[in-house]
Chain A
Amino acid sequence: MLSKVAERVYWAARYLERIESTARLVSIYDKLLFDLPKQVNLGWYNLIVINSLEQDFADRYSNQDERNVVKFLLGDETNPGSVVSSLHAIRENIRTTRDVVPAETWELVNELSSYVTDHLQQGINRSARHEFLDYVIQSCQQIEGLLGSCMPRDEGWKILMLGQNIERADMTTRNLDAGIAAILQIEEDDYAVNSRQTIWGNVLRSLNADQPFRRAMRSSISGEPVVKFLTCDTYFPRSVVYCLSEMIESAEALPHSKDVIKAIKKVHKSVIESSEHKDFGAEYRDVLNDLQVAIQQLHFVIGQTWFLTDR
């Protein structure tokens, strides 16, 4: 497989995952608003902070309100991680890899692009946001399903899986971070316990993890089991450890993968170790931040191993 094609497939997978995750992230906050007591003043701006987009956001908006945050995350072309920008990137990547992905991928991506372009306002206004986000998430799953049922399990697939899992691992840490950021805003009052539970519950739901969590942990919802589940569960496909294990498996099937495997295993080990934490508040956000940096490092190792065409 051509190095350049590999790089594009990898990015297509990352962007696809990013679109779905961004839609999920917005939907957590959207749903939280229904359930939290009215006294809680939830900051939409947290979503900008956890995605490390403060500077980009400040360049565009002064008012850190819901409308601007949602607009920035869904429809802003100057934000490289917005749904609209990611769709643009995914189209370019699929267009240039049409020889390795199933032909229908291109059609589905075009359909999703047209939908997002035509219905963006729905996503920004709160009244129809749920429907919009649902459509986006379902379309991403449809594309994933197509790839999963049609692609030969060759190098192209392994690269695709690397892209999907690295993005998933990263986004799971950001979802956790979003939850913790919201919890830190809750004041200690009569509603605090309930509010915390509501927030953790929504973090789980946003990752489709509530049912698997109940069955695996047999516990009520609170910080410690939720964080442990989302970082270290070995069966749940969005847990950080699971994603890293998948990456190891994909890398093992690819040529010249020794350095990549070694690097992933190192991150894997550090995730397990950090789950020994007891307090999942402000301090744990630093742990998550370090993890995000480590995942970014993995990305560089992958690029150096397989993508650089000037090797």
Chain B
Amino acid sequence: MNLIPLSHILIFSLALFGIGIYGVLTRRNIIGILISIELILNAANINLIAFSQTTSLSPETGQVFALFVIAIAAITAAVGLAIVLALYRARKTVFADEVHLLKW
């Protein structure tokens, strides 16, 4: 993969990560936050794949860990959505700023 410099790929994933962060910070809906988290994880995956193709000693290492990250993303989605359902059932809301029990 010598068509595109590694740094450009990294900047792309950085942008994706930043967008994900922005989404996590600004989305009111908890499902929206989860989606944004998927973006972040995805950005990490891109990095892993990119590095495995260029700088790592063995090319499969990055892919193996990318697989792990995908598994963790699935876990995040499953648990997060279960929490959303439970919250929705308990408080009839899915908005993060309407759930502030940790307040003073």
> A and B from one assembly?
no
